[in-house]
């Protein structure tokens, strides 16, 4: 194993994009390269902090590898009381020492900076790679999530039947039921990446923060992040992508079982463990969708999708979207099943090559058939969601064209008047 020795002052000078932060003593630190480091980035300075504390407690009490680092980025929690001690974020390293004993150390302390910014995420990644170097890296992003939507869009466009502005919503939205009284009665159950003091990160921010770091896997423990738009945007950042096309309940992943699978490169097993946990629940808590995607196969998926859109793009406005499997409860109509969308648009005989490519890319997919009060047909569940263009939503139409997925498959093309 390679051994790296740095004086803290030199280490701090070598790191880039470091907001106000301080290294934890001792000053002369041995940085030993291990087989794998998994960073769990908890953007939890929001209403999810009690759930974050519970999740972190499971991590600390669970599997710790003999040749690896578990690194937690989180706010300071009192794990015994499950209460936030303060709002200052820290990096905590969980590993085994040379005697094989579990060791938990705070390795970096930050002055306050919003966790949902690309500069802070970039800093955390750089510090983690310096203090806990490894031959392989994994990344878990834990927080709220609103899929491919622009930062802040979900907050300002979620349906509110009491508002005089309800007329602003498109014809697609009007095809789906609104929540009773305009309020989702199950909102407390879901983690609908990132939200801190009104600041959110876009997928493009995440991609820029990651930069040239390559991960064995990226897992999105947040709602609606299992979309083709996100997987394709991050496909060159990781070998495997794990996410849910629908919402994720606040219980999150079962970290007492999935961490070991992450370190053993059993990425299909991660999805299976998440499914097994929720499938064992009862009532509304028996709710999950989860999938593992092999990123090297996504280009083939895009090739087949591009051919279909070339022939059927003009038929999208006439499509009856109520026939397509959706992953949103009530009327937030931005997440539909990718394969079922194309099957309805083109016909299953036309989508055979696309289906084969998708099967090679989505190497594990599971659903309990429910997301609280939404029915999900396992036969229609392909593991990835997509947007179905609503051409009355010009803001989204313009934004969507920035995604690498749309640039490649040309589902939405610029109008001749642009």
CA-nearest of 238, 299, 300, 298 to 270 is: 238
Number of domains the chain is built from: 2
pLDDT, tens digit, for every residue of 124-156? 999 999 999 999 999 999 887 789 998 877 777
242 and 317 belong to one structural domain: no
Decide which of 294, 315, 348 is a domain's last residue. 294
Buried b (16+ CB within 10 A) or exposed e, 131-149: bbbbebbbbbbbbbbbbbb
* Report for 113-122, 164-173, 253-262: range of highest mean pLDDT: 253-262
286 plus 326 within the same structural domain: no
pLDDT bin (cut points 50, 70, 90) of residue 67 is very high
Mean pLDDT for 382-391 is: 96
> Following DSSP, what letter does each residue of 237-255 receive, concatenated?
TEEEEEE-SS--BTT-S-H
Per-residue pLDDT tens digits for 309-361? 999 999 999 999 999 999 998 777 899 999 999 999 999 999 999 999 999 99
Q: Is the pLDDT of residue 191 over 80?
A: no
Closest CA to 386 of 233, 157, 219, 185: 233
* pLDDT above 70: percentage of residues in the chain: 78
Residue 344 lies in a domain: yes
Q: At what angle do helices 203-210 and 118-131 cross, to 10 degrees?
A: 30
Is the same domain home to 102 and 131? yes
* Residue 417 counted as domain residue: no
Task: Measure the CA angle with vertex 143, ends 139 and 148; round to 5°.
Answer: 85
Domain carrying residue 39: 3-147+193-294
The candidate with the shortest Cα–Cα distance to 75, out of 85, 64, 65, is: 85
Residues 308, 239, 383: CA angle, nearest 5 degrees: 50
416 within some domain: no
185 and 77 part of one domain: no
Residues 89-103 have pLDDT tens digits of 889 999 998 899 999
Reading phi first (left if > 0) and then psi (alpha if -120 to 50, else beta), residue 48 is in: alpha
Say if residue 221 is in the same domain as residue 353: no
What's the number of CA atoms in the CB half-sphere (13 Å) around residue 244? 36
Same domain, residue pair 10 and 134: yes
This prediction has a pTM of: 0.86
For residue 140, list its beta bridge partners: 40, 219
The reply to whether 94 falls in a domain is yes
Q: Is the pLDDT of residue 284 over 60?
A: yes
Q: Residue 31: give its domain's CATH number.
A: 3.40.50.11970
* 209, 234: one domain: yes
Q: What is the pLDDT of residue 185?
A: 59
Q: What is the pLDDT of residue 314?
A: 97
Beta pairing partners, 36: 68, 136
């Amino acid at each position: 194993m390679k051994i790296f020795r740095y004086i803290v002052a030199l280490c701090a000078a070598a790191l880039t994009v470091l907001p106000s932060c301080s290294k934890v003593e001792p000053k002369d630190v041995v940085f030993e390269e291990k087989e794998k480091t998994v960073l769990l980035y908890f953007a939890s300075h929001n209403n999810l902090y009690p759930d974050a504390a519970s999740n972190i407690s499971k991590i600390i009490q669970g599997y710790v590898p003999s040749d690896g680092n578990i690194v937690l980025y989180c706010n300071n929690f009192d794990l015994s009381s499950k209460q936030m001690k303060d709002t200052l974020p820290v990096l905590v390293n969980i590993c085994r020492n040379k005697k094989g004993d579990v060791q938990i150390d705070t390795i970096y302390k930050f002055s306050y900076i919003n966790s949902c910014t690309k500069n802070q995420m970039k800093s955390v990644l750089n510090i983690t790679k310096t203090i806990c170097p490894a031959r392989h890296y994994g990344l878990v992003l834990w927080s709220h999530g609103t899929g491919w939507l622009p930062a802040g869009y979900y907050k300002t466009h979620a349906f509110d039947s009491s508002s005089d502005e309800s007329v602003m919503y498109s014809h697609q939205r009007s095809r789906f039921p609104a929540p009773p009284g305009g309020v989702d009665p199950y909102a407390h159950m879901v983690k609908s990446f990132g939200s801190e003091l009104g600041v959110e990160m876009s997928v493009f921010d995440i991609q820029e923060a990651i930069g040239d770091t390559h991960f064995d896997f990226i897992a999105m423990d947040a709602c609606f992040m299992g979309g083709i738009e996100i997987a394709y945007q991050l496909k060159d950042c990781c070998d495997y992508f794990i996410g849910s096309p629908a919402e994720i309940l606040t219980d999150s992943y079962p970290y007492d079982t999935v961490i070991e699978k992450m370190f053993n490169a059993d990425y299909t097993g991660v999805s299976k463990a998440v499914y097994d946990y929720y499938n064992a629940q009862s009532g509304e808590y028996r709710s999950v969708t989860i999938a593992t995607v092999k990123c090297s196969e996504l280009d083939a998926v895009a090739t087949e999708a591009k051919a279909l859109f070339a022939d059927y793009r003009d038929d999208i406005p006439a499509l009856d979207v109520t026939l397509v499997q959706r992953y949103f409860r009530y009327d937030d109509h931005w997440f539909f099943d990718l394969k079922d969308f194309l099957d309805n648009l083109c016909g299953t005989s036309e989508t055979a090559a696309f289906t084969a490519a998708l099967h090679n890319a989505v190497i594990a997919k599971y659903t309990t058939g429910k997301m609280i009060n939404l029915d999900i047909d396992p036969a229609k569940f392909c593991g990835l969601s997509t947007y179905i263009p609503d051409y009355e939503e010009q803001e989204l139409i313009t934004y969507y064209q920035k995604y690498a997925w749309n640039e490649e498959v040309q589902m939405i093309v610029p109008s001749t008047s642009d």
